[in-house]
Chain A
């Protein structure tokens, strides 16, 4: 019975296995821990942000601000640690507090002003990007001992692949996301609001608090993704991470979460990230293909997933109609 709920997730998993299998058939080298390690490291920041986006989309909303928040985080950290001399740990705490508060503010506007999330987070996107430029318009390198330590931290897997700090951090965020989604009242409330906001309210779900928490969580994770991104690039740059919010949305949808909200899994988002990373890796291995093929394949995947979701909704509506002759 739960199969229809699990179907999109299962589809994503099968697509991932087939895709990986095809890649290995052509380039046997892709079956190595090096590839796996790089897949996790290269997509760590996107994965962390996409977990936040999963909650937003599960609630029936959207968050367009995360790319800008990632850029802001990087620039803030670089300038704070470099020019302002803020101790690294304190800088990290401050930036996470700032981004979380920013998300909470957007959530409050969405709820209390009854504005569409699209509009509010679009404004947030411009605002955060602008704030990043206000701090610095240059690509600012980050030089801090803490960064060197964290960047040097990795586990060497058998076969030579490196499981880096940010790769592990992404997996940890995914795990925590799964717990949050399925084993807390907050998680239930997110699904409830995504299912039917009015019914959820009548059943006593605290809509205001949950909405604010959802966007605070998304911005907090975008801040965390910004930290991961600055560890990955060792720099902060205002023009970084443009359009990352769209990649995150794509990963969430490919991961089987309904764009209309109420149905989906955090684990699916991880699969979505891995599929997108896999396509990228394939193109690198091939060497002759333009990297724009990544976009084309992701586009096609998105089309087919949206069609699949529509089909499922249509089927379940038909089944419901058949069960109730009226």
Chain B
């Protein structure tokens, strides 16, 4: 299967952005007739690596060779000409053009100096028939499903390049039947001798289709291993960068939460294609940690709980009374708060001052007809700047000038100012320095003792161990397990994640993950 001279070979590839190393000395090898999975958590360097291979970025150091020849693609077109084609996650075709026009854009067949749509249509039908696709190629692409567009994109990339095909999370929005179809197409291409790089978050897919897997973490290569004989627990531990070892269990005594008042309960709440129905009861004075790999449904869970997305089934009750949130506004009205994962995108308002950022949610809850006076605003801002130790020279300083950790504290202050009963934190310590990290963890503990109910999503297992009173484990967009206080260690969490990933549908009569979610959704 694996030839002597690899089809594509990268040696010591390094890339820095403004002094931050995104990729450090990474080696990568792809054989002809091989499907090679590339896995890693967010920020591991997967997309940087493929962007370098496809010419979207230029590498700073290192060597790339295609069929033994050293190459240096200047742009995407250049890489395509050399034989490296890419299909991105958001299918990068043009929905306003016809199928045939998409296939032949940039290389239209010509007749008497003019393009010949008839010829393009004929050849398009020919090309697509190789993929078992019999569609009207003169219809605009927008009329077709994402799956069909994905196949058209692959057909274009293969027809254009023909040696290496790079697929960046191609299955993200496909259902089970579509995934199976895509995989059989990939098997065909593999048999034709193409080298295929396949990026995915789904372990069952790695095991189903890949020959080898390369694991990246923090911009470095951890290992390249044949799939055969690779244990899932080993794969998870390589991704998370943690040795398997016995560790001290969480110090906190198990607490009888059934005696604590219930703040909110979620029964069979789910949304098709996003997260399978789950039950969750949030008590006052507890911290529910949420663990799982990227794409396992962590953020989706939070979004349903906060009304950002609407569940299509299940019941929500707040204080025992049925409730439904059609928007975050209503969730805020019930005393919920939510600090999103990407504070740059969803949280801070760059140009507003610290004070304005702090009072935003409180003002929204009061309604704009009842403005807080300037004096009240200043009091609230000063109180939280002191309480959370927000390092700013001035409460009127625009928040964009604060460090990441301090921005995070401002967002936290914003929700604390509304005095929430249920606070959801999505990756509260991502991208902040060590000192601020410890303070946020301490703060979470304090809030719990004051009787607040918290749901904290985190990829940092040690962090979960430090503050969670129980841990929800997610895999493949399902809630697969829960660890009680006393049994929470990084090791048990990791085993639970791997176990969840293990139960995946690959072992269940070949049905895909999405089919299962759909089936559960219908149940």
Interface, chain A (partner B; CB < 8 A): 1-2, 4-5, 179, 182-185, 187-189, 191-192, 194-196, 198-205, 262-263, 316, 319-320, 323-326
Contacts and interface: CB of A to CB of B under 8 A. Distances in A.
B94 A263 contact: no
Contact of B140 (A2, A198, A200): A2
Given A185-B106, A325-B272, A192 B138 contact: no
Contacts of B101: 188, 191
Contact of B173 (A183, A188, A326): A326
Given A2-B138, A187-B115, 17 more contacts: A1-B136, A1-B138, A1-B143, A183-B115, A184-B114, A192-B97, A194-B96, A195-B96, A195-B97, A199-B92, A202-B76, A262-B94, A316-B142, A323-B145, A324-B145, A324-B146, A325-B518
B92 A179 contact: no
A203 B114 contact: no
Contact of A205 (B96, B105, B116, B140): B105
Nearest to B156: A203
Contact of B94 (A179, A183, A187, A203): A203
A272 to B, nearest CB: 20
A325 B273 contact: yes
B504 interface: no
30 contacts: A1-B138, A2-B138, A2-B140, A182-B117, A183-B114, A184-B114, A185-B115, A189-B106, A191-B94, A191-B97, A192-B105, A195-B94, A196-B94, A199-B92, A200-B94, A201-B76, A203-B92, A203-B106, A204-B77, A205-B105, A262-B94, A263-B96, A316-B142, A316-B143, A319-B143, A320-B142, A324-B145, A325-B175, A325-B518, A326-B274
A176 to B, nearest CB: 12
- Of A182, A183, A205, chain B has the most CB atoms within 10 Å of the CB of A183
Contacts of B519: none
Given A204-B77, A320-B142, A326-B173, A195 B95 contact: yes
Contacts of B274: 326
A195 B95 CA distance: 7
A1 B144 CA distance: 10
A202 B105 contact: no
A185 to B, nearest CB: 5
B88 interface: yes
Interface in B244-280: 272-274
Tell me the interface secondary structure of chain A in the complex. helix
Given A5-B140, A202-B76, A205-B105, A179 B97 contact: no
Contacts of A184: 114-115
- Of B80, B115, B146, chain A has the most CB atoms within 10 Å of the CB of B115
Nearest to A194: B96
B484 interface: no
Contacts of A187: 115
A43 B97 CA distance: 31
Contact of B106 (A182, A191, A204, A324): A204
Contacts of A179: 114
Contacts of A203: 92-94, 102, 105-106, 156
A5 B94 CA distance: 14
A200 B140 CA distance: 15
A4 B106 contact: no
A205 B101 CA distance: 12
Interface string B123-153: 0000000000000101110111110000000
A320 B173 CA distance: 13
B108 interface: yes
